[in-house]
Structure 1
Amino acid sequence: MFAMRRRGRVYYGLGGAAASDPDAAGVLPRPVRRAFRLAVSLANGRVTIPRFAGIAAAMSLFAATGLYGMVLGGHTGAVAEATTSAIGFSIDNVKVSGNLQTSEIDILQQLGLDGSSSVVFLSAASARERLISLPWVENAEVRKVYPSTVEIKLFERTAYGIWQHGDELSLIEKDGKVIAPLRDNKFASLPLFVGDGAQLEAAAFAEQLSNWPDVQARIKAYICVGGRRWDLRMDNGVVVRLPEENIARAMHTLSTLEQDQQVLERDIETVDLRLPDRTTIQLTEGAAARRDKAVADRAKMLKKLMEKGA
């Protein structure tokens, strides 16, 4: 193989010496010439390789291989998040406000935060959607404060009453939407609505009784019967049966009986107000037994008096 210069150019032949005629020599393809010249320069010592070039090349190869593996394995995002966390963007502080019923543990679990979470890669919109899926949360605001803080403001639902359906007890809003199952006694003072469909009419029906506050204050449960009418269970166990229509008339009758005769204080089981022209009162078993005994004793006494008079 040979090389020769002509007009400032070097031609590389395939023989062992410089060719006398560059046109007659075998010329290398253009793309190969640069690499060939570099190889010749390295062989002649005209080009010096940097001292740590080999190490740098090996590290570059390993880095490229690792990056390729991350891309194939889908770990690029995790690595990037860990990297930003390591340089000072890890989430170290979560400020939560407005959470009266929602625990901070539930909030952190819903967001999936851990020691490697980065504020850079936290999606505020996605975090908000996950928080809204919590039972008590109606709305939420999520704000990132660089370099390491997340601020969360919750807007929670308001419990209006307790709905009993079968053996289940659930907290409901005023419009009847179920919030969550009842788990403790701190909501025991809320009104109880019983029966299928009772949660949907709860607020509207309770509002109808607000004109009789003394009676309403003693109601322990509102019982929806067949989706058509309501019974009232009072705090002493007495059941008041209301009609389907003209509830105001029935409530006025009940209020009058209570004021004049303290009917709800007596040993009775039910007060039936379903018929517009009469009120039916059913005694408890004990009261009925005592009444029957009193009637029988009175009959015996009258009989004795009649026998003496005869």
Structure 2
Amino acid sequence: MQPLKRLVARRPRLSRADPAPSRWAWRMQRLMLTPAFRFGLRVGVPFALTFAAGAIWLGNDARRLAIQTAVAEARESFESRPEFMVKLMAIDGASPRVSREIREIVPISFPTSSFDVDVEQVRQAIVELDPVKAVSVRIRPGGVLQIDVTPRTPVAIWRNRDGLTTVDVSGMQVATLERRDARPDLPLIAGPGAQDHIKEALDLYRAAAPLGGRLRGIVRMGERRWDVVLDREQRILLPETGALQALERVIALETAQDVLSRDVARVDMRLGRRPTVQMKKEATREWWHIRQMSGQ
């Protein structure tokens, strides 16, 4: 008999399999653990396949035209529903003439869908009208295009090369006039640049109130100063600065000495320290005639 140790020693040794994965398997396992790669497999691949299928399907012109037609019909059907239709226009705060102008410049054929009404474009078109100071445009429930107008308030009549125009306190034109007596309640100003100094002109008008009906208007001279025009072709020439104070001095002289009630053509106040009174030609000739007779 052979010893047990010798039998064990002669037993052939079996090779054990290596449990480690191959290099490519290890790399694939690591890649599968990457969040970006997993997201691409879960989202990117289905999206790419769907996009490719859609692109192939939409590559046909007839299919695309059918889709566009269906979308247009669905949109038109939705926008034409009764609750979205605008049936009429309401204008508040404007005179009849301004209302007619607004209806002329807003070319909307009623009824129409509210989706086809550009409210801001309508507002911009209306606010460009001279008589309109501000305007708000909205679509009221019930299909009404509501236009609320804040009109300009005319405070004077400006005579310019184009005729007579009413202006507001900021000098913006409001409306044209055919005749002066169409608005006898408004003061008359004239001359280039007069519309840019409306507040000063109104102050002069208020100061000249004691002259009553003799006041005809105020003229801007050389775009730098004012002349007060009275009846009987009389004028009060005011300085560039301190025009109101100079006019008040003339009114005081008229109250005390009736200066303007005499044969005076001009009262020149441009030189504050030396006011000048120019008499009319007839009065001047009569004065010289009296002096000559006195000299004889």
* Shorter-normalised TM range: 0.5 to 0.7
In the alignment, does 2:137 pair up with 1:142? Answer: yes
Shift of 1:269: 2.3
**Residues 180 and 263 from structure 1, CA distance in 2 versus in 1: closer, same or farther, beyond 3 angstroms?**
same
**Equivalent residue for 2:198, pick from 202, 219, 224:** 202
The residue that corresponds to 2:216 in the other structure is: 220
The residue that corresponds to 1:264 in the other structure is: 260
The residue that corresponds to 1:279 in the other structure is: 276
The residue that corresponds to 1:155 in the other structure is: 150
Larger fraction in helix = 2
**Residues 196 and 280 from structure 1, CA distance in 2 versus in 1: closer, same or farther, beyond 3 angstroms?**
same
Q: Is the 8 A contact 2:218 2:229 kept in 1?
A: yes
Q: Which whole-Å CA distance do the structure 2 matches of 1:105 and 1:80 have between them?
A: 31
**Residues 244 and 121 from structure 1, CA distance in 2 versus in 1: closer, same or farther, beyond 3 angstroms?**
closer
CA offsets 1:51-97 (integer angstroms, 9 cap, x no match) = xxxxxxxxxx9x969959xx8xxxx9xx949x828x68654332211
Q: Secondary structure at the match of 1:221?
A: strand
Q: Secondary structure at the match of 1:232?
A: strand
The residue that corresponds to 2:99 in the other structure is: 104
Q: Which whole-Å CA distance do the structure 1 matches of 2:245 and 2:132 have between them?
A: 41
The residue that corresponds to 2:173 in the other structure is: 179
In the alignment, does 2:87 pair up with 1:92? Answer: yes
Give me the identity figure in percent.
Answer: 22
What aligned pairs does 1:95-134 form with structure 2 within 5 A after superposition?
A: 95-100=90-95, 102-134=97-129
Q: Which whole-Å CA distance do the structure 1 matches of 2:200 and 2:295 have between them?
A: 54
What TM-score do you get using the length of structure 1 for normalisation? 0.59
Q: Is the 8 A contact 1:88 1:147 kept in 2?
A: yes
Q: Is the 8 A contact 1:210 1:216 kept in 2?
A: no
CA offsets 1:133-180 (integer angstroms, 9 cap, x no match) = 22211221222134432221111112222233334433322122x224
Gaps of 5+ in 1: 1-60, 304-310
Gaps of 5+ in 2: 1-62
The residue that corresponds to 1:190 in the other structure is: 186
Q: Which whole-Å CA distance do the structure 2 matches of 1:246 and 1:146 have between them?
A: 56
| Runs ≥4 residues deviating over 6 A | none
Shift of 1:211: 4.8
Q: Which whole-Å CA distance do the structure 2 matches of 1:248 and 1:137 have between them?
A: 31
